[in-house]
Structure 1
Amino acid sequence: MTNTLITGGNKGLGYETARRLIDAGHTVWIGARDAERGRAAAAALGASFVQLDVTDDTSVATAAKTLHAELDHLDVLVNNAGIRGDLVSPEDTSVEQFRTVYETNVLGVVRVTRAFLPLLRAAATPSVINVTSGLGSFTLIHDPDRVESKYPLAAYSSSKTAVTMLTMQYARTIPDIRFNAVDPGQSATDFTGHLGHTVEEGTDAAVRLATLGPDAPTGTVTDRDGVLPW
């Protein structure tokens, strides 16, 4: 049995990732801040639900205890939960706006990963997949032919740069767990105003890594087309 937890799994890319992994035979737990929406999504998918606010230490610790009581191991953790933040220019982005985005997108990854390390280490070939973005790529934001160059989102973009580096540091120092980052690209969800490719295409990289099992690499950054320029 492959046990998988997806944060922010009640809608968008998280929901689609859950749907596809359930179809692939995974036992999926959806972590969501909003209990009503999380339970509804889990019921629709045939998943299990755990209340999980990635910005709250107590919520994350409680979620870890809940899964520990239900499972003897966790094979895959998908750190999917993230927020865009306010649509303002870099010069008008305040410290508080940065802090809000970083609390979810960066510190949320740290908080959840730390809490679930014991359950992950109980698995034979554990894997952590962190959802990053090409908007945090130094290469892509300077390419005028790429959509990433069109959005000067200082807080969001820099938070995803941090997520990628966090992933690399985890991969280098925790050899018993595979850590990889994936970029969904511009996918048609509420997050993007429904611009871009399909949510299925946006989840290709995450689903591929989550289903590789012992063949999964570590320390990679990819999108659906392969290695992501960084």
Structure 2
Amino acid sequence: MVDWRTFSLMVDSRTFSFMVYRRTFCLMVDRRTFSLMVDRRTFSLMVDRRTFSLMVDRRTFSLMVDRRTFSLMVDRRTFSLMVDRRTFSLMVDRRTFSLMVDRRTFSLMVDRRTFSLMVDGRTFSLMVDRRTFSLMVDRRTFSLMVDRNTFSLMVDRRTFSVMVDRRTFSLMVDRRTFSLMVDRRTFSLIVDRRTFSLMVDRRTFSLKDG
């Protein structure tokens, strides 16, 4: 059937239909759960085939694909991208410049405003923040923390810890009842190993062995 006033065409043959309309410039094809639709005004395209769909829209510049729990979405205004595949997701946003990836308890997040990065995988985490310039890493009772304001560093690995602080210039190490502490103001040094201890202080210039 053809209508010259509307310039429309429709064909139907065993669940197959084809329709064209001039004013909206739309095209629709349907064949065994397969459909295609195009519209000039919105420039949208949608394809569906056995739980597979694709949609494109010119105004928002968005694209969405879904195939067996897999989805992809892109939006021009926010420049966001999201992919999900069996508990795997990726999201990117232009305004915040954030990236997030999650895959079996693994996550990565980046944010431009705070410049923070966080990675988590089997009790492993990494966090970086631009304002405080802090870094923290944790992996099986191992942690590392750095902060720009205090310039402190702390490492812990099987009862082993190191701490450095810029203001007091103090250092402390502990490993199986062994400790070392240094302080700039008092210039004191303390070493303890089982029943042996050594302490030095600049002000009193004292040395003790016990």
TM-score of the alignment, normalized to the shorter chain, above 0.5: no
Q: Which has the higher contact order (CA 8 A, sep 6+)?
A: 1
Scaled by the length of structure 1, the TM-score of the pair is: 0.19
Scaled by the length of structure 2, the TM-score of the pair is: 0.20
More strand by percentage: 2
Compare CA radii of gyration and give the structure with the larger one. Answer: 2
